[in-house]
Amino acid sequence: MNSKTLPIQTLSTLAISVLLYLAATTASAELAAGFAEALASPQRSAEDKARDAARKPQQVLEFVGIGEGMTVLDMSASTGWYTEVLAAAVGSEGRVIAHNTVGRKERFEAEISAKAERLGNISPLYADFGNLGLDAEVDAALTALNLHDLQNRSDEAGQLFLGSAFKALKPGGVFCVIDHEGSAGQDNAALHRIEVTVATNALEKAGFVVEEVAEILNNPADDHTLHMRDESLQRNTDRFVIRARKPD
């Protein structure tokens, strides 16, 4: 039957069914065996381990639906805390692409290369937004604590960043955005924060379907008035976790 002949109610029902199917498919992804052991490995740095309690890696990745055998892009990976967590999640049959821009290569190359050599399923990538060289190649992508910098700079910069993730994902691929939550009326650019609605609107403008915003990393003690690096927060800001999807 031609979709143009379907009544609006039927089309809405079909759309909901598709989204529910995709959500169920994502939720069925399982972390690779040995995930917890990998995070506890003596070879993993003490500094990285210290961040686990606040970042709740297992809960976040289970919410996103990242699991064994996937190819995952870690956008603006920095030193690779999430890169290593993702590498444990996808296992030896999966692959993590640890991306940093060309300008940040000198700063982060040593740590990323060390993790890649030790873990065996990480591929470093140094490329600028809009030119990642990935075209519908990854099952999932994640960016943590980065969108605020680009979106606060300008809508154009935010769209270039999000568009790079959109292009890299396979149809139906999932994209996770984690960031420091800001509030309306605050100088979020100065505080290095972003409102949830600003983030979700930007994602939708880039072509994503926003599925859910999780409270996994909420911190009620953070009232959004402090700089995200304020010592009193001890790196534990109130953060949102968005699961979005590239339409199939």
CATH number for 7: 3.40.50.150
Instruction: Note the pLDDT tens digit of each residue in 67-80.
Output: 999 999 999 999 99
Mean pLDDT, rounded, of the chain: 90
pTM of the entire predicted model? 0.87
Arithmetic mean of pLDDT, 49-59: 96
Q: Structurally, how many domains does the chain consist of? A: 1
Q: Is the pLDDT of residue 202 over 80?
A: yes
Arithmetic mean of pLDDT, 218-238: 87
Contact 191, 226 (CB under 8 A): yes
Query: Would you state the pLDDT for residue 1?
Result: 34
How many Å is the Cα radius of gyration of the chain?
A: 18
CA distance 233 to 201: 27
Highest mean pLDDT among 16-25, 26-35, 131-140: 131-140
Query: Would you state the pLDDT for residue 231?
Result: 83
Range of the domain at 26: 3-245
- Phi/psi at 11 (5° precision): -60, -40
Query: Would you state the pLDDT for residue 234?
Result: 77
Instruction: Note the pLDDT tens digit of each residue in 84-121.
Output: 999 999 999 999 999 999 999 999 999 999 999 999 99
